[in-house]
Amino acid sequence: MTFLSPADLCHLGATSRYWRAMVRDPLLWRYFLLRDMPHWPSIDHVTIPHPDLLDAPLISEDESLDDREEGNEGIKLKFDYMSEYLKGCPFSRQQWLPTRPAYEVVTSFFQSLVPSSEPRYAMFGPGMEQLDVSLVTRLMHAPDILPVSGTPHRQINGIGSGISYMFNNQHKFNILTLYSTNRAERERARVQQESISNKLFTFEGNDDSGDPVCVPAPQVQQVCQVVDGFIYVANADTMTHHTQWFLTDQFQIRAVLNCSRGSTSKPLLVLSCISR
């Protein structure tokens, strides 16, 4: 059987109990170890064979390999040379390890089935975008108030996964930030004090009372269904256009609350922020 490769012997041993016992010959696999181990390109502290493996006798002095009977383990060997070979051989190591993409897909699937105890909140509003110092930036750089605990794996298309914070070193929660447009347009509008088109909502005419009807974008609607509450950040610096901004805020808040209506009500926190 020394003319067969270790891979062929493994396939042969899978055919029946008889061949499984035959291919586990310790002398055979000890020979393979002595022959192949010097040519292995890599080995680590986990897969390296036992240090006494090659110098120790196969069996104790008062036993013989001839004492084994067909179909019976018989004597107890000091080392399992076949297992030691397969553990260290680079070819078999690659066969046993799962590929990374498949591993990520499986873990993501099982993770999606496990309900998370980490509450999620959607934060939006002009106070996140129009102030000189971003509220999100201040939150991320205030470890004494709300230390950042990481980024969760759960993601929403077009939104992301948000940022997780730790409250009182024991309560973990996640905040999804909803911006009206991309960063470049927000920064230009803030510097030039111009209004920008809000891509989070679309206006579909007026209702019977003449008020504009706001409808959240599809990705925002998905957020409204999965979050546990909302945080609206109002810009308290816009006092000159207070009435206009108040009406805009009111319509946007009403739109997300109407979109999230279901079996349970969701809380709303309104933050009135200024630049200082």
- pTM assigned to the model: 0.51
Tell me the per-residue pLDDT of 178-190, one tens digit each, with 9 for 90 and over: 888 787 887 787 7
Check: CATH 1.20.1280.50 for 6-96?
A: yes
**CATH class in words for 112-273:** alpha beta
Tokens of 73: 């383990």
- Structure-derived torsion over alpha carbons of residues 191, 193, 195, 196, reported in degrees to the nearest 10: 0
pLDDT at 261: 66
Domain ranges, ordered by start, for the chain = 6-96, 112-273
Residue 122 has pLDDT above 80, yes or no: yes
Q: How confident is the model at residue 85 (pLDDT cuts 50, 70, 90)?
A: confident
Q: In the predicted model, what is the mean pLDDT of the chain?
A: 74
Tell me the per-residue pLDDT of 11-59, one tens digit each, with 9 for 90 and over: 888 888 899 888 888 888 888 888 888 888 777 666 777 777 767 666 5
pLDDT at 72: 45
Phi, psi of 19 (to 5 degrees): -70, -25
Tokens of 164: 């997780």
Decide which of 255 and 243 is more confident. 255
* CA–CA separation, 138 and 274 (whole Å): 13
Decide which of 110 and 160 is more confident. 160
Q: How confident is the model at residue 263 (pLDDT cuts 50, 70, 90)?
A: low
Residue 110 has pLDDT above 70, yes or no: no
